[in-house]
Chain A
Amino acid sequence: MRFYRVLLLSAVLSLSMSACITTNSPTTGGKGVSYGDSKAVETVSTDLGSTDIQMTAEKMTMSMLQTPLLQDIIRQRGLLMASPVANKTSEYFDTKLITDTILTQLQKNGVRYVIAGDEMQNQTDELIRQNQTGLYKKSTAAKVGNMQGAQYRIDGSVSSIVKRDASVKDVYYKINMRLIEIESGIVEWSDEKEIRKTLRK
């Protein structure tokens, strides 16, 4: 009887002890910082944020992929480029965040695109360096005059309407994107994403 009691006690003890021991996570640093889910719905403020970028890019990619024209472009290995998307809001929001994601997602599906805008500087710098510094072997240096022009470009705009009173701030965003044939100027595809964000005090 007594033996059983001891056994029981030790069993309980070992159980409770095993419940107490936790392993250390492979982390270092202070208390305040942790990693979150990059795909979580962000509702910190009514400004354009990560969720808006992700949802917009996703919708645009889906919508664009569906169009037969884009599938033709993929088959014919046509070239795309992204013009700067106009920011018509009062927020300091870099619209490249949206176009970059769209281009990346399209590329995963076989779309090819050429760089444009402020990235061109690095490209021309490198071409000039390879050709004009005299440091490179002629045969391996990238030739000037072989860059390819795109047949289509992605364009668009971000606009917002902000309304507020003492207790509510309501922001409506509309993100509009278009696929334009550069030579003809014809808009071949367009779609928009609407977002409404409301803050209550």
Chain B
Amino acid sequence: MEQHTNMPLHPARRLLLPVLVASALLAGCAGNPLRSYDKEMGDTVSLLKEGNLSGALSQLESNNHSSGKNGEGKDILYYFEKGELLRLGSEYEPSRDAWLQADGIVQTWEDEYRMNPTKVLGDVGALLVSDRVRSYDGQDYEKVFLSTKLMLDHIMLGNTDNARVEMKKTFERETLIKNFREQEYDKIREEKEKQSISLKPADLLGNGYPMDRLESPEVNALKNGYQNAFAHYLSGYFFEMTGEPSLSDPGYRNALELRPDSTLIRAKVHGKGKQARPGPNEADVLFVVESGQAPALKSVMVPVPLPINKKLIVAPLSFPVVISSGVYTPTDINVSGKKLPVETIVNVDAMANRQLKDQLPGIIGRTAIRGIAKGGAQYEAQKKAGVLGGIAVGAATVVTEQADERSWRTLPARLSIARAILPVGEQMIEFRTGRGTYRGTITVGGKVNIVPIRIIGDFVYVGQQGAKGSVTQLPSSNWAKLEEDEGIEAIQKRVDAAAKQKQPVVPAQEEKPMKNDNPASKLLPKKLF
């Protein structure tokens, strides 16, 4: 090792050592952040689809068993999923507690940001190792969803005071995220100007990457990836029920701003005063219909030309893709003969795509810099130790090079609402799902009446305030055909084919002289050249 001290180290190699050590350490421990989250959660979600809640729960526990006894060291995703599974089983108290744990993690992030925004903004710890090693404190939309769901738990437990607190927190959180993203955006723009980056993500990722998903009308219609129309509508409803119009009006108004097409919300904003109020033996009931499951994040390998050792080398890098599974949302609910229209106001698929779209420039930058560092190391190792060393480093590169697949998977794909004034007492409800018609009863009564309905797989979970909810298997007859996203294998094939067409036969190790007009030179920091 001594002769190295006299030699100027290649910058990439200087960076490599900690990477290798880190990846070796990570591979060793069982709570490995490099584990495939998508694979793990896939099992849990399919148990949920089969109506096996306890099975899903124990699966989740066994995937996270290695952490500390009292839950220390368990990550936010574990609490996200646990809270949701418990809630579906009508266990609102433990569900609330699990989500409060997750909330604590988000609050730590918030406090950190409040105390030292520059540090959080400059969170480039994962510059060298894969994005998935970055500490995960939830996607923006997950953070907002968390406090919205906590709010619902409090309401289901009949604790309106805590629901009110949670409601305030939701919007403080929203503002904080907004400020954070605005600052981040400014910073990225600043950096871009410094490094004269002019390349768009679409140019770099080529034809194969499903860029159309990030540019769909639903995604572009969103103001951002985190604001949740339901959170605002829920506070509109809640404060209307508690008789606080000065807080309920902004709720509906903000919801309409996020969902200008919704007739249910518009009626609340523009039809004020004209609406019927519940009589003495009636109640204003809000149906919260959650259908399907949140999309998965998967990795796709895209060959990207990188400047390594003053040569341009095409290296496969991994980028995340949002893959939605199909969803069926009923168009109406029949309540004791009354037909209520169901309106979708939150599209989690679109939110996930929007989030990815907004973060893609950052992801590309980080991934490329990492690729350059590793490529440089590989080059050096091969030159020095011959083929054997080259293989060793190459293997480490492949292991660490995976996109971040972490996300809250038991969230629904769509959240819809229906609302009506109904007589107090038992009511028959009926609605169509993708797998036949659901029939059941609900009990109406009390001041705040929320009926949470979750449709996933062959099962319908209906919650009940102050009582045990129901889990019902659907008849599984006349299945509706669901429109699913193209799978990751197909995307990968397409990406590979596009790459072949664009850059005919450029193996990873082949060296190509650099040209100044190369796209990569525009994208990457000049000091790396």
Contacts and interface: CB of A to CB of B under 8 A. Distances in A.
- Direct contact between the two chains A and B in their complex (CB within 8 A): yes
Interface stretch (A91-99, A102-110, A122-130): A91-99
Nearest to B182: A201
A87 B257 contact: no
Main secondary structure of the interface of A (DSSP, over half): loop
A123 B250 CA distance: 28
B245 A87 contact: yes
A32 B258 CA distance: 37
A87 B242 CA distance: 16
Contacts of A85: 246
Contacts of B244: 84, 94, 96, 118
Contacts, number: 40
A117 B250 contact: no
B245 A90 contact: no
Contacts of A55: none
Interface in A68-123: 84-96, 117-118
Contacts of A92: 167-168, 171, 235, 247, 250-251
A84 B245 contact: yes
Contacts of A93: 246-247, 250
Nearest to B239: A92
A92 B247 CA distance: 5
A88 B249 contact: yes
B494 to A, nearest CB: 38
A87 B247 contact: yes
B151 to A, nearest CB: 13
A95 B250 CA distance: 12
Nearest to A157: B246
A35 to B, nearest CB: 19
B203 to A, nearest CB: 26
B130 interface: no
Contacts of A96: 244, 246
Nearest to B235: A92
A87 B249 contact: yes
Interface string B247-283: 1011101100100000000000000000000000000
Interface of B: 167-168, 171, 235, 242-247, 249-251, 253-254, 257
12 contacts: A87-B247, A88-B249, A90-B250, A90-B253, A91-B250, A92-B168, A92-B171, A92-B251, A93-B250, A94-B246, A96-B244, A158-B246
Interface of A: 84-96, 117-118, 158
